[in-house]
């Protein structure tokens, strides 16, 4: 039995609509306070809304269409400056998501990942530290 050519197209449209609805539901926790700024105000909420999409909910990372490093017990996170530079400047395929965050939000994410997921690095960063890092990065 031969199907009409539009049946395949109809299924493509239906499946695409279901995928779009699923994506919209998945992104419901990502709240933007403007077109380029995130609304979340603490490190855990920011990680959940932004970072876990690539680094996964338990920060174990992933490999698939790209490679997303694990943040679990990651010795690189010993350096708060490293974490700030990645958020503010990006790294490899990771965009500079810090551009869409206030200094306080960046500090909260830095402090969160450095004290969770098996990381116990001392020395919290402040919004003033992030502001200084931003100034230093733009001076280069």
Here the contacts of 99-102 (C-beta below 8 Å, separation 24 or greater) are 99/36, 100/36, 100/37, 100/38, 101/37, 101/38, 101/46, 102/37, 102/127
Q: Where does 31-79 have alpha helices with state H?
A: 43-46, 52-55
Query: Class assignment of domain 31-139?
Result: mainly alpha
Give the pLDDT mean for 52-66: 92
Give the pLDDT mean for 19-41: 57
Q: Which helix (H) or strand (E) holds 63?
A: strand 62-63
Return the number of other C-beta atoms located less than 10 Å from residue 133's C-beta: 23
Q: Give the pLDDT confidence of 2-13 residue by residue, as tens digits.
A: 544 433 333 333
CB of 88 closer than 8 Å to CB of 137? yes
Give the pLDDT mean for 87-101: 93
pTM score, two decimals? 0.74
Give the pLDDT mean for 108-122: 97
- Per the prediction, the chain carries an average pLDDT of 81
Those residues whose C-beta lies under 8 Å from the C-beta of residue 130, and which sit 6 or more positions away, are 84, 88, 98, 103, 104, 106, 107, 110
pLDDT surpassing 90 at residue 69: yes
Give the pLDDT mean for 46-50: 95
Domain residue ranges in the chain:
1-30, 31-139
- How do beta strands 67-68 and 62-63 pair? antiparallel
pLDDT at 109: 97
């Amino acid at each position: 039995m031969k199907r009409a050519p539009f049946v395949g197209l109809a299924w493509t449209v239906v499946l695409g609509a279901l995928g779009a609805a699923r994506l919209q539901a998945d992104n419901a926790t990502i709240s933007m306070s403007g077109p380029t700024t995130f609304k979340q105000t603490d490190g855990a909420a920011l990680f959940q809304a932004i970072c876990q999409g690539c680094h996964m909910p338990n920060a174990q990372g992933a490999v698939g269409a790209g490679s997303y490093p694990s943040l679990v017990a990651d010795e690189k996170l010993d350096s708060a400056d490293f974490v700030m530079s990645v958020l503010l400047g990006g790294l490899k395929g990771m965009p500079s998501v810090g551009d869409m965050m206030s200094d306080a939000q960046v500090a909260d994410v830095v402090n969160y990942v450095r004290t969770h997921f098996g990381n116990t690095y001392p020395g919290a960063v402040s919004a003033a530290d992030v502001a200084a890092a931003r100034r230093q990065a733009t001076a280069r």
